[in-house]
């Protein structure tokens, strides 16, 4: 499985990447914002996206909406990894087609459960 990890915070990408590697995922692309993620999606086969919401240039929500509007990518599993906890924000992500939602700070166990749920589907 190839994962695209998108976050503008280097500490988050390092932490999440380490957790994913410990879980056995070997192919992990990293992007610092939605535009970089979109470029990666145009040149690599990605199986799952883990993405922050609040980033410069193209937000995670905007990236998700663009993905859902692109037939080739429309069914790509997308986990929003964010500090956004307001009910309205969560609802907005669900309406945009997010597969799952993880609130920062997160633990290895939480991320593992979310990934397991997606992989079983």
pLDDT at residue 121 greater than cutoff 80: no
Task: Please tell me the CATH superfamily of domain 2-120, with its number.
Answer: Response regulator (3.40.50.2300)
Please check whether residue 55 is in contact with residue 8, taking contact to mean a CB–CB distance below 8 angstroms.
yes
Residues contacting residue 45 through CB under 8 Å, at least 6 positions apart: 2
Q: 4 by DSSP, 3-state: which? A: strand
- The pTM assigned to this predicted structure is 0.95
In tens, the pLDDT along 45-90 reads 999 999 999 999 999 999 999 999 999 999 999 999 999 889 999 9
Q: Mean pLDDT over residues 79-104, rounded?
A: 93
**18 falls in which pLDDT band (50, 70, 90)?**
very high
For residue 119, is pLDDT > 90?
no
Q: What is the distance between the alpha carbons of residues 117 and 68, in angstroms, rounded to a whole number?
A: 20
Q: List the chain domain ranges.
A: 2-120
| pLDDT band at residue 120 under the 50/70/90 scheme | confident
């Amino acid at each position: 499985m190839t994962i695209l990890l998108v976050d503008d915070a280097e500490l988050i990408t390092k932490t999440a990447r380490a957790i994913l590697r410990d879980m056995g995922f070997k192919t992990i692309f990293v992007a610092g914002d939605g535009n970089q993620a979109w470029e990666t999606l145009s040149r690599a086969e990605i199986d799952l996206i883990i993405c922050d919401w609040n980033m410069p240039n193209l937000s995670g929500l905007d990236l998700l909406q663009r993905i859902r509007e692109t037939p080739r990518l429309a069914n790509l599993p997308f986990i929003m990894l964010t500090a956004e906890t307001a009910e309205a924000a969560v609802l907005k992500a669900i309406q945009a087609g997010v597969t799952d939602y993880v609130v920062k700070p997160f633990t290895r166990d939480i991320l593992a459960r979310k990934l397991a749920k997606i992989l079983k589907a």
